[in-house]
Amino acid sequence: MGYSQENEHAEWAVESGLFDALQTSFNLVDQRARYGLFDKARARGMGIIAKHPIGNAAWSRALAGESAESQGGRTDERLRRARAMIDMGPLAGAPDDPIALALGFVIAHPDAHTSIVGTRDHAHMLANILAVEEQSPIAREVVSELHRRFDAVGREWSAID
C-alpha cells in the first residue's frame, strides 16, 4: 500500500507505519526529501517513488528564459529556483540536455527507487528513455553541486507548502 504527498504529510505517512511505499516530489529544484524524509523511509523499509522528476521542465524553461511570473504556484516557484541555481554559474560535467540532467539527478539517488515521468507525447517519452540510457548516471560531482546549489537557495518554499 502506498501514499502520495510531500512535506509534513509525507513524514506522517512514513512515521505511521501504514504504508509500504511513498510517492513524493523529488527533482533538481525540489530536493526537500533529502532533508530526512529519505532516511526515515529507508529506516522503515519503504520504497520511494519520485514524482515530478523533471519538475515541470523548470530547468529547461529557465535556460530558455521563461519568466516565473505567470504560471502560478508550484510552477512559478520551480522556475524561480531553477533560475537562481542556474545563475550560480556553469555546471561542469553536466549533460547538455536539461532533461537528461533532471532524470540523471533523480536516478543518482539510491533512495529514489523509481520515478514517474508523465508525458502526453510519445516522442518525449522516447527521448526520456534515450536520455536515461545514454546519459545516466550523471557524475557524482554534478549531483553534489546541485545539492549545494539547492541548499544555497534554501529548502523553504513560498508557494508549495
Q: What is the pLDDT of residue 125?
A: 85
Residue of higher predicted confidence among 121 and 88: 88
Domain ranges within the chain, ordered by starting residue: 2-152
Domain 2-152 grouped into CATH 3.40.50.150:
no
Question: How far is it, in rounded angstroms, from Cα 84 to Cα 79?
Answer: 9
pLDDT band of residue 39 (cuts 50, 70, 90) is very high
Taking the C-alpha atoms of 89, 95, 97 and 103 in order, what is their torsion angle to the nearest 10 degrees? -110
pLDDT band of residue 75 (cuts 50, 70, 90) is confident
- For Cα atoms 6, 45, 28, give the angle at the middle one, nearest 5 degrees: 40
Terminal CA-CA length for the chain: 24
Run of H or E residues at 47 = strand 47-51
Mention every residue, 6+ apart, whose C-beta is less than 8 A from residue 1: 18, 19, 20, 21
Q: What is the pLDDT of residue 157?
A: 65
Residues 122-149: b if buried by 16+ CB within 10 A, e if exposed: eeeeeebeebbeebbebeeebbebbeeb
Question: How far is it, in rounded angstroms, from Cα 99 to Cα 86?
Answer: 14
Query: Is 91 a residue whose pLDDT tops 90?
Result: yes
pLDDT band of residue 89 (cuts 50, 70, 90) is very high
Q: Among 61, 95, 100, which residue's Cα sits nearest to residue 81?
A: 61
Mean pLDDT across 41-49: 96
**pLDDT tens digits, residue range 98-151?**
999 999 999 999 999 999 987 888 888 888 888 888 877 899 999 999 999 999
Q: What is the pLDDT of residue 160?
A: 44
